[in-house]
Amino acid sequence: MELTIFIIVAVLSVVSALGVIFNKNVVYSALFLLVNFLTIAVFYLMLNAQFLGMVQILVYAGAIVVLILFVVMLLGEQLGEDISSWVTPANGVIIVLALILLTIIGTAVTDYPTTGAKGDFTPELIQEYGQAEMIGVTLFTDYLLSVQLAGVLLLVGIVGVIWLARNDEQLPATGDVPTKEA
């Protein structure tokens, strides 16, 4: 049962990932990405990480895809290139290198055990208290600093967006206009 679901979702995941790359229409690519995010959420659910699954749907499927679609609208026009234009010697080298890396990582993961130490939060404990509760307790005790730093990180993002996406008319009119030198 579990294996069947996994195979279906895994195939869907790979197909949608390829769909993102090979689509000429950027909007379709974004929608394929949405499917890909949803399949990853299913993987999280199958690994008993319900909270992460919900987060994946909320943030990635909900917000990030919307943002990507906005970018597509912002840039307008069709951005896709002909797939035949991808066939260049440089890309061939890149594909070979990527395959080598994939082989190394794949061999390491399949032939050797992930031998890590087990943490304090056993499945039984999670069953008893609930996953969101456990995450809440861990986040606000052991990982308190990380939570606060995430706040700082979001602050950096806010300030950066405010500056970069400001209307040009609102910029002060003084100063020279440096251009790219040859």
Partner 1 sequence: MPTDYIPVLLFLGVTFTLSVVAVGLPHIPFINPLRPNKAKSEVVESGKLAYGDAKRKIPIQYYTTAMLFILFDIEVLFFYPWAVVFWELRWYGIMAMSVFTLLLVIGFAYEWRKGAMEWD
Partner 2 sequence: MPIEFPVLNFFALSPIIVVIVLALVVMFMDMLSSDKTVLGYLTVFGLFGALMPCVPLLNQTKAPTFQNMVVSDGYAVVFYIIFIVTALLSSLIALTYLENRGMQQGEYYILILLSTSGMMLMAASTDLIVTFLGLEIMSIALYVLAGFNRRSISSGEAGLKYFLLGAFASAFFLYGVAFIYGATGSTNIHEIGGWFSTNEIYQSNPIALVGLALLIIGFAFKVAAVPFHWWTPDVYHGAPTSATAFMAVGAKAAGFAALVRILAISFGGVFTVQWQIAISLLAVITMTSGNIAALAQKDVKRMLAYSSIAHAGYLLVGVAALPASNELYRVQAVSGLLFYLMSYAFMNIGAFAVVALLEKQGKIGTKLSDYTTLSTRQPFVAFVMLLFMFSLTGIPPFIGFWGKWYIFWAAVDANLGWLAAIGMINSAISAFYYLSVVVQMYMHTEQADVETTPIALPAPIAIAVTVTAMFTLLFGLWPTPLINLMSLAVFG
Judged by the rule CB under 8 A, the positions of this chain that interact with partner 2 are 104-105, 107-109, 111-119, 129, 133-134, 137, 141-146, 149-150, 152-153, 155-157, 159-160, 162-164, 166, 168, 171-181
- Sole binder of partner 1 in the list 165, 173, 177, 182 (CB under 8 A): 165
CA distance 136 to 28: 37
CA distance 110 to 163: 47
Phi-psi region of 119 (alpha: psi -120 to 50; beta: other; left: phi over 0): beta
User: How many residues of this chain bind partner 1 (CB under 8 A)?
Assistant: 47
CA distance 61 to 75: 21
> Which residues inside 56-95 make contact with partner 1, applying CB under 8 A?
58-59, 62-64, 66-67, 70-71, 73-77
Tell me which of partner 1, partner 2, none is bound by residue 79, counting a contact when its beta carbon lies within the kind-specific cut-off of 5 to 8 angstroms.
Answer: none
